[in-house]
Amino acid sequence: MTNPATRLGLLLLLVLLMALGIGYFLYQQEQRLALGVWPEYGIDAVQSIELVAGKERYTLQREPTGWVVRLEGADADTVPVPADVSRIEALLAAIAHNRPRQTLDQDSGVDNTQLGFDKPAVQLLLKPTSADDPTVRLTLGHETPTGAAIYAHSSLAPETVFLLDASVLHHFDKPAEYYFDARLLDVKGEDVQRLTLYGGQGLQWDMDRKDDLFTFSEPASMRGTTLTASEVRLYVHNLTSITADVIMTKPDRQVVGKAACIIEMLLPKATEPLRLELFAPLDADQVYGRSTRHPNGFLIDKDKAKSLIRQAYDMQWRGVVNFDSTKVEGARIFSVASNQTLQVDKNPTGWEERDTGRKMSGIDMTLWRLKELRFEAEPVPRLGYPATQRLELDLLTKDGKVLSNFTFFTDPRLPADQCWLKVGSEEMFYPVSNQLLEDVQGYLPVRQSKAP
């Protein structure tokens, strides 16, 4: 005799299997419904997408130079706006992933005037690259009375009205600007062979690439100075990653006159450089510019504009200090202001003060910061009043010889967060962050004030 619990378990299993079977059957029905009546094109299979969204009418067009956005009504000679390929791919994916799951029952009582196909919310015309694939027109009309779905039509099934979830509409009702690629230029750092910047007074700096190294050819004072390729790639990355806030689409909105700043990039085998121009006033809330990529012009925030203008010293290697960290076995700090000297030695367990044996933490981090120090503006060959010597730092070898010597000066003429640094006997003073000076001063013991 079968146990009641066993019978109940078998019954539940049977119900579960039936539910799974029904679900799979309905899924198969939905798949068969969508198959052949709804497009599923990857970006490589599409030549163009014409969109109508409200009053917006434009075309996403594949051209030999890449994807562009063409606005309806634009003159034939108007340069189209480069398109953001990732957003076109997202649009095609949204079409493929939001296939219809239901059709409108012919006995529903809904007439053609209620569908909204004569004045659609969105209409898309997809033209494939292959002649073997059909051109497809998708039309999204009005919402159903419940608001849960919208009426849809596909030219692949001209006699059928589909129902789509109303939430999918936001994938398709985008303005043309949504697809604009607002990057000012489209360049890879490794492709730049020459980089030039002109200011209001003419050529500011010019650099050439040989193998993987860049050297200044201008200004004359930096001629032959080597830059690392990573520095140039970082600058090029900044140039291309900054996006315009407004893209001009009509040539008649261009600004005339001389540019306040011009940046040129020459690529391999190119006869003409890529060009980026910014026009005065550069301190306006929005700065007008033009580029090879956006010849009709664009507007960018003034802070973005300022970040594109770099001085020659910004582009050169601005390291101040160079020493072999593995040879540093000791350090001596002398504070001119307080007439204090501190000497520390390195041992297997860390750093300690020579006179007291006091453990000293943070020395290794200070050495790293010292090596990473960069100057913030052009160095000068001499200092005068009111610059004041504050501190000396000697790095020592194991036998006590001076490996490197550094002298710090404060100067009220510098920005509040900077000081001067002199390296060894070199008669050159570098404006650097004063954070390192404060760190080194912090190692000195606090002097006890004398009792009255």
The 10s digit of each residue's pLDDT in 196-235 is 999 988 999 999 988 778 888 988 888 887 776 767 777 8
Q: What is the pTM of this model?
A: 0.67
Pick the last residue of a domain from 179, 212, 243.
179
In a domain, 336, yes or no: yes
* 98 and 204 within one domain: no
For residue 116, being part of any structural domain is answered with: yes
The reply to whether 47 and 172 lie within a common domain is: yes
Q: Residues of 343-382 as b/e, b for ≥16 C-beta within 10 angstroms?
A: ebbbeeeebbeeeeeeebeebeebbebbeebebbeebeee
Q: Does some domain include residue 347?
A: yes
Q: Examine residue 86 and state whether it is found in any structural domain, yes or no.
A: yes
Strands of the 402-410 sheet, one edge to the other: 359-360, 350-353, 340-347, 330-335, 388-396, 402-410, 418-423, 429-433
Residue 108: its pLDDT value, please? 64
pLDDT of residue 24: 42
| Domain closes at, from 151, 179, 207 | 179
pLDDT at residue 34, rounded to an integer: 47
Q: State the DSSP string of 177-200.
A: GGGB--BS----GGG--EEEEEET
Are 46 and 96 in contact by the 8 Å Cβ rule? The answer is: no
Regions of the chain where pLDDT drops below 50: 1, 24-35, 449-452
pLDDT for 355: 86
* Same domain flag for 198 and 255: yes
Q: By residue range, what is the domain housing residue 76?
A: 43-179
What is the C-alpha separation between 216 and 224, in angstroms, rounded? 5
End position of a domain, from candidates 133, 158, 179: 179
- Clarify whether residues 264 and 310 are in a common domain: yes
Quick check: is 8 in a domain?
A: no
* Secondary structure of residue 313 in the 3-state scheme: helix
* 296 domain residue, yes or no: yes
Both 219 and 277 in one domain: the answer is: yes
Domain count, the chain: 3
What pLDDT, on a 0 to 100 scale, did the predictor assign at position 197?
94
Considering the domain architecture, whether residues 211 and 263 belong to the same structural domain is answered as: yes
- Note whether residue 1 is domain-resident: no
